[in-house]
Structure 1
Amino acid sequence: MSDTEQYWYNLTTKQVERGFESPAVDRAGPFATAEEAAKAPELLAERSRAWAADDAADDNWGTPAKGSSGDASDR
């Protein structure tokens, strides 16, 4: 599928575009259909939440679980 056959979501205008109608900095995609591109804001929000949760888990990798003092008697 060529780039002109794919759809993009314009983050500035909030419109679905086919092909390279706007600068790359303004576009999210590509998507196979206009319907998928229209759902880009929800998809981006979902991915952002997942990445934030992963980052939080990474930040706490050495922290004992709640209710655990971390010593051998807890095991």
Structure 2
Amino acid sequence: MWSKEMFRALADQLYGDPNLHKFIREQVIEQLRSQLELYQNYIPMSYNDYLMKMSREGEWGDHVTLQAAADRV
């Protein structure tokens, strides 16, 4: 299961600083917002509700947020 640590791990690997996890989360949410046609069919809830949920610090990442992070880089 992915966890909130996914954002810290990505920040560490991409920028060498796990404390940039908030920046990574923001970038992932921006990717999800700007490319909803790529991701919306993989979300089993309202897309806007999903974006609000994933925007919260401490919310666990999932396969969709990991894909969005990979697509953003």
- Same fold at TM > 0.5: no
Q: Which has the larger radius of gyration?
A: 1
Higher relative contact order (CA 8 A, sep 6+): 2
TM-score, scaled relative to structure 2: 0.32
